[in-house]
Amino acid sequence: MITGLTELQTVRFNEAGDEVVILDQTQLPSKEVYVSLHTPEEIWEAIRKLKVRGAPAIGIAAAYGLSACAQRWAESDTGSFLSRLHKLAAYLNGARPTAVNLSASLKRMLRVVDQHPDLGCEAWKQLLHREATKIREEDAAACRLIGEHALARLKPGMGILTHCNAGHLAVSELGTALAPIYLGQERGYNFRVYADETRPLLQGARLTAYELSKAGVNVTLLCDNMAASLMQKGVIDAVIVGCDRVAAIVVSDINDRLSPKKEPPTTTATNIGILPPISPAIPIATGVRATTVPTDVPTAIEIKQAAKKSPGIKYPAGNTLSVKLTVASVAPTFCASMANAPARINIDTIYITSLLAAPLENTFNRSVNGNRAVVATPHTDDKTKATDNGTV
């Protein structure tokens, strides 16, 4: 692990395993403050108010929270314990109901208990602690796999654009989108990274630029509207982003948004977005865990959008603007902003990792009309090819 990142522990247990300790990301970059969460209400609030954020990190925090709270219960009656556990999981899931990793982690925690009905409360507590720890360990392994597969497609010295924060702070370690950058840093690739500020909460300015600079990466912070200009000048060689949720046929969705002619995908997975070829193609890759692909959401249209309240815009850095404003703030889609770039955009690869190949294959079997995605799993190599039905 890179020096500078090891000290940033997004989510962890205390020594007794009955508290969740998080790095309060609302106070970054000015202060690194760790907060101990004791109660369900504190855990719910931390997730809701983005003290812990990033799809994988939210899932880990919820699993840790469910386990930590259960360790403090004195129940010996198994029925009472199970009822309380399920109610707590439902309560925590309400903190961010649109977050796929949150619900996936909580369902997994409940499942490990429900699959062992003959055990007692104390044994269940041990199972919960082990399962929560396993969720974090699997996330760390998946992030490293994303990094290795993406790094194999990059060259030393490249200029890489990223948006929002899909790095170490958003996961267990390394990140999704930033994982190849950190692995490249370890191996002397000397990437030039450009981080969009990311309105309205400035995750790029507050978090991405912060963690990259802390790790010694050459990072430049951009205003969001600078990306197209840098693409035109040839400064950007690739774009790597993360995401909170991926539709099952996201490749087709992205193509629809980037192609003004609505032309069908071409025959290769590396040439899907179709824009006028004013400048050389700029590949876009998305680093994402398989748990972020909901099997019940076939297209982006079905994804529930969470409208944001306006304080991030009206009250920058806690200061009230001097004019009265009515602000409609809905989180913009990254792909839509890239469509304005004067360059041919290739949706190059969707890097998705899973420690089990079967669930991933089942997800992409839902793809239709020959849509393709390149899927990286421990069961594939760097020469992974996309097949006609979108599966590996």
- List, for residues 11-51, the tens digit of each pLDDT value: 999 999 999 999 999 999 999 999 999 999 999 999 999 99
pLDDT attached to residue 247: 59
User: Which of the four pLDDT bands, split at 50, 70 and 90, describes residue 74?
Assistant: very high
Checking if the pLDDT of 348 tops 90, the result is no
- List, for residues 82-119, the tens digit of each pLDDT value: 999 999 999 999 998 777 889 999 999 999 999 999 99
pLDDT attached to residue 332: 34
Q: Choosing from 139, 237, 244, 348, which is the catalytic residue?
A: 244
- Of 121-125, 156-160, 387-391, the range with the lowest mean pLDDT is 387-391
Cα gap 174→183, rounded to integer Å: 8
- Check residues 251 and 167 and name the one with the higher pLDDT: 167
Q: Mark out the alpha helices in the chain (DSSP H runs).
A: 40-48, 55-71, 78-93, 100-114, 121-151, 179-186, 203, 209-214, 227-232, 250-258, 311-314, 334-338, 357-364
Average pLDDT, the chain: 74
| Torsion sign (Cα): 338, 340, 345, 347 | positive
Checking if the pLDDT of 63 tops 50, the result is yes
pLDDT attached to residue 100: 81
Checking if the pLDDT of 298 tops 90, the result is no
pLDDT attached to residue 21: 98
User: Which of the four pLDDT bands, split at 50, 70 and 90, describes residue 386?
Assistant: very low
- List, for residues 352-382, the tens digit of each pLDDT value: 333 322 233 333 333 322 333 333 333 333 3
244 a catalytic residue: yes
Checking if the pLDDT of 171 tops 80, the result is yes
